[in-house]
A and B are shown apart, each in its own frame.
Chain A
Amino acid sequence: MFINFFFNLKSKGIPVSLHEWITLHHAMAMNLNDCSLTNFYHMARSILVKNEIFYDRYDIAFLDTFGGIETTDEMLDEILAGLKKVKELKLSEEEKKQIEQVNLDQVLKNFEEQMKQGHYKNHVGGNKAIGTGGRSTQGAWGYNPAGIRIGQGESRHKRAIQVAEKRTFRNYSSDITLDTRQMRVALSHLRSLLPIGYGEKLDLKKTIDQTCRNAGEIELVWENKEKKSSKVMLLMDVGGSMTPFSELVERLFSAAAGQINRFKHFYFHNCFYQDLWTDMERNQCVSTMEILKSEDHDYKVIIVGDAEMAPSELTWANGAIDYWYHNDTAGIIWMQRFKEKFKDAIWLNPLPKRSWEYVHSIRMVRDVFPMFELTLDGLDEGIKYLMTGKCELYNR
């Protein structure tokens, strides 16, 4: 049943509404898809799916629904398969003239007759039936100016099922790790209007407008100064198990640096203790306590790391992975202090979510910070959490 397509789309998580479903029926009633499944595939997608990240799921739903269907597109293919290409026919001028005299009505009539008799299978040469390279009035690569040509040009557009099977849009689907531009877009949601001062700026335009509406009686309109800006602190795990993800983290860094007005960044290795490094090589450092004391508490904190370490690195004094480094306070305490100071803090993990449950230290970190995958979905969710305090997974 056709309605299954609708429920299939729904079950794949595509937000299709009844409104759009009915629009699709309107379009089909007008035969905008020209009775072809391939055209239907594209038309239905343009009406039902409004974001390219769902194109891949659409392909899957389409395959589920129409996977085994036989279409007119296929029938045409069957005919074409029978029309194997052979050498072109050479005819004398006289013969050509004879053939030219056959008119189109006759040709069409002939064609229909042939179709009924099923002559089109694997026919090469000859004067009557559908085939290739012959003198008959149907088929491809033959000689008859009034003939019917069936699919001589190569079709550039494959059948819908094949198109769907290719799943070219897999890369657009949102659970793939992201590129710089997508990151920038996601991070731009962090900007919010921060008011500076109350009612201290004269809104000239509104004042004039109000005065005009009052027919000349002057009325002053004041406005709050507001500016779109964001304050973000980025803490990045570098070295060790994070090396494979260094490209990804670097991209996040460059996107954030370009997108955010007040931006601070620090580095750490596996877990942070009393010092945070300001350079990637970990030569320069600042005191964590100092940051906790001096920075505004409304910074949005994004921590990036795989949180994969020995539990002792989190729980022991002097548990740091670098043997020359001594910490009096356990790492998990520092994390909790951070969380207490900065209420809006999230942890982005480049490891896939399915692996989180198996690592003890990740579970411990998740108890402190809400953790999100470093993918488009995860970043969006995380930023939603930072801005509103709630998202699907966590609620503050």
Chain B
Amino acid sequence: MDYFKGTEDYVISKELRDNVNVSIALGRPLIVKGEPGTGKTLLAHAIAKGLAKKFHIWNIKSTTKAQDGLYLYDTVQRLNDARFGDHDVADIKQYIKLGKLGEAFNADEQVVLLIDEIDKADVEFPNDLLNELDEMSFYIPETKETIKAKTRPIVIITSNSEKELPDPFLRRCVFHYIEFPEQQLMEEIVHVHFPDIEKKLLREALKKFYWIREFDMLRKKPSTSELIDWLQALVIGGIPAKTIENEIPFLGTLLKKKEDIEVVEKSGKSHYAYNSSMRTRDVY
């Protein structure tokens, strides 16, 4: 059986790695939730790479229907062919195009399938896929054919929790919530991106980064990807570690909203750099 150990360029916590292996062993989809920018999508890439398997992505949009993932019956093409008589239109099979899920089922060997941002679609969307994901097969009435997975694909589903997923769907999945990495894990993650970053710079930068994240009233908290961008800017700009102790250069790469920048700048000026938002939580 396949055992996922992680890859060189994707740092993974032990719990998540274990849960990936649980989901592979049980043959059930793994739902990954977490703050934006915690590497949910990258996880699927890493699994495919780590296990050396083919990789399929099904990006979900607000208009995506469950049927799109299974197959598409190209009726217009068939009508067109019937008019001009190029093809044998009696053979419906040639007008059936498999969707991403269909492709993954139809593959000869086990593949990794990523269903990205499932919560973007309609509320009913996950329910429409219940049986298909359970049995890993579906029926095409037009050709009287059943597409069945030869080996159950490894299915990773990501969600930003914009919508609640229905309970029957959740029951059939393994769930993992990616916590925001702690400083130690974050250092490892940064090292993957910047193998030779100066230690002092990194430490000071991370200190500031976690300090900013403490602010309760931020509209959008900076995430890992913003930290990477910021470090990139610091390295290119040749900012010494000393400077970061006193000010935060390139704040715009970390915070994307005007109000947020104001909040941080305001509290940064006062002598104790007092994080005023800490109060709101224990107000009563």
Contacts and interface: CB of A to CB of B under 8 A. Distances in A.
17 contacts: A19-B171, A42-B18, A46-B22, A50-B31, A50-B170, A52-B33, A55-B177, A168-B179, A180-B219, A188-B162, A188-B163, A211-B79, A216-B79, A244-B280, A245-B283, A248-B280, A254-B259
Chain A CB within 10 Å — which of B15, B23, B76, B184 has the most?
A: B15
A20 B25 contact: no
B173 A50 contact: yes
A17 B28 CA distance: 16
Given A180-B219, A244-B283, A254-B219, A39 B171 contact: no
Contacts of B175: 46-47, 49-51
Interface string A12-36: 0001010110010011001010000
B17 to A, nearest CB: 10
Chain B contact patch, size range: 35 or more
A26 B26 contact: yes
Contacts of A49: 175
A39 B25 CA distance: 15
B28 A23 contact: yes
Contact of A46 (B14, B19, B283): B19
Contact of B217 (A211, A245, A251): A251
Q: When A and B form their complex, which 5 residue pairs have the shortest distance between CB atoms, in order from nearest?
A: A212-B75, A50-B170, A52-B177, A46-B19, A42-B15
Nearest to A258: B219
B76 A47 contact: no
A43 B58 CA distance: 27
A126 interface: no
A43 B33 CA distance: 16
B8 interface: no
Given A50-B167, A50-B173, 18 more contacts: A15-B167, A17-B171, A23-B28, A27-B25, A42-B15, A42-B18, A55-B177, A168-B179, A172-B177, A176-B281, A180-B217, A185-B161, A208-B76, A216-B82, A244-B280, A254-B219, A351-B284, A352-B284
Interface string A166-193: 0010001000110111000100100000
B21 interface: yes
B208 interface: no
Which one of B22, B79, B172 has the highest number of Cβ atoms from chain A below 10 Å of its Cβ? B22
A43 B18 contact: yes
A209 interface: yes
Contacts of A157: 14-15
Interface in B80-126: 82
Interface string B1-32: 00000000000001100110111011010010
Main DSSP-derived SS at the A contact region? helix
Given A50-B170, A212-B76, A179 B216 contact: yes
Interface of B: 14-15, 18-19, 21-23, 25-26, 28, 31, 33, 75-76, 78-79, 82, 161-163, 165, 167, 170-177, 179, 184, 216-220, 259, 277, 280-281, 283-284
A152 to B, nearest CB: 18
A273 B174 CA distance: 53
Given A17-B171, A179-B216, A212-B79, A247 B18 contact: no
B180 to A, nearest CB: 11
B174 A185 contact: no
A15 to B, nearest CB: 7
B219 A42 contact: no
Contacts of B217: 179-180, 247, 250-251
- Most A CB contacts (10 A, CB to CB) among B25, B161, B170, B174 go to B174
A185 B162 contact: yes
Contact of A23 (B18, B26, B176, B219): B26
Contacts of A176: 281
A247 B280 contact: yes
Interface in A324-351: 351
Interface in A348-365: 351-352
B68 to A, nearest CB: 13
Nearest to A42: B15
A55 B167 CA distance: 16
Contacts of B171: 17, 19-20, 50
B39 to A, nearest CB: 16
A46 B174 contact: yes
Contacts of A245: 283
A213 interface: yes
Contacts of A20: 171
A27 B28 CA distance: 11
Contacts of B220: 180-181
Contacts of A248: 280
Contacts of A47: 22, 174-175
Nearest to A254: B219
Given A27-B25, A185-B162, A247-B217, A209 B75 contact: yes
A50 B171 CA distance: 8
A17 B168 CA distance: 10
Contact of A177 (B184, B219, B281): B281
A41 to B, nearest CB: 9
A32 B283 contact: no
A247 B217 CA distance: 7
Contacts of A180: 217-220
A42 B167 contact: no
A355 B21 CA distance: 47
Contacts of B28: 23
A223 to B, nearest CB: 15
A30 to B, nearest CB: 6
A357 to B, nearest CB: 15
